Amino acid sequence: MPIRLRILYASTRQEPRPRRITLILHDQQPGIVLYQFVTRAEEVGGEFKQIPLADMGSDTLFDWMQDYFG
């Protein structure tokens, strides 16, 4: 069973299309993180990008959040 982590953007301002980042760690793909940048109105699905788990550090995640939600 995959482990899903969703990072939701919360804001006090009116956001017409709130965004989220979905990360998936799946036991059928060890060592790989699947990720997708979507709005909350969109359902998770379609194509996920991949990054090796070894390359997925806190700096990467912070940069994604800063770029996507900033």
Whole-model pTM over 0.85: no
15-58 pLDDT per residue, tens: 566 788 888 888 888 899 999 988 767 766 678 899 999 999 89
- How would you write the chain as a 3-class SS string? CCEEEEEECCCCCCCCCCEEEEEEECCCCCCEEEEEEEECCCCCCCCCEEEEHHHCCHHHHHHHHHHHHC
**Taking the domains of the chain in order of start, what are their residue ranges?**
3-8+20-69
CA 41/CA 20 separation, integer angstroms = 10
Query: For residues 34 and 28, is the Cβ–Cβ distance under 8 A?
Result: no
